[in-house]
């Protein structure tokens, strides 16, 4: 079997498993009420200018029953971009896509890449 076929099948399995986990309650979202940005904590693409541009932000918590709490976090500003909250050291595009589908007002996941220092915004 070709490498790209194996990778596609693996990605499809991951998507199906994540959807199943949301459907049976092993994964869930807690979406906080929008707040005016002050100290948002660290997030991918964090820049003082970006934070000032937000009129309000919403914090999203991806909760895992197996992990006993939050397994991934995001924030969304008025631009519609889901930005990973830090610290985060794992690329997980399948989960990011599943969260995107479930968060009202989310238009896209801000690009990021894994570096030796953790996650960084991609151009």
pLDDT tens, 51-95? 567 778 899 999 999 999 999 999 898 889 898 887 777 889 999
Residue 39 has pLDDT above 70, yes or no: no
pLDDT for 56 equals 85
Provide the 8-state DSSP code for 111.
Answer: P
* Cβ contact 35:57 at 8 Å: yes
Count of domains observed in the chain: 1
| Range(s) of the domain holding residue 85 | 3-121
> Please, which residues bridge with residue 120 across strands?
113
The candidate with the shortest Cα–Cα distance to 60, out of 106, 22, 14, 93, is 106
């Amino acid at each position: 079997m070709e490498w790209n076929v194996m990778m596609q099948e693996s990605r499809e399995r991951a998507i199906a498993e994540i959807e199943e986990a949301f459907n049976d309650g092993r994964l869930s979202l807690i979406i906080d009420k929008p707040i005016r940005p002050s100290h948002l904590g660290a997030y991918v693409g964090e820049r003082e200018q970006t934070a000032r541009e937000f009129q309000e932000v919403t914090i999203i918590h991806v909760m895992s029953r197996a992990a006993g709490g939050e397994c991934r976090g995001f924030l969304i500003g008025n631009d519609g971009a889901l930005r990973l909250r830090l610290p985060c050291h794992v690329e997980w595009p399948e989960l990011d896509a599943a969260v995107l589908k479930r968060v009202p007002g989310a238009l896209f996941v801000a690009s990021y890449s894994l570096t030796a220092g953790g996650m960084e915004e991609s151009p």
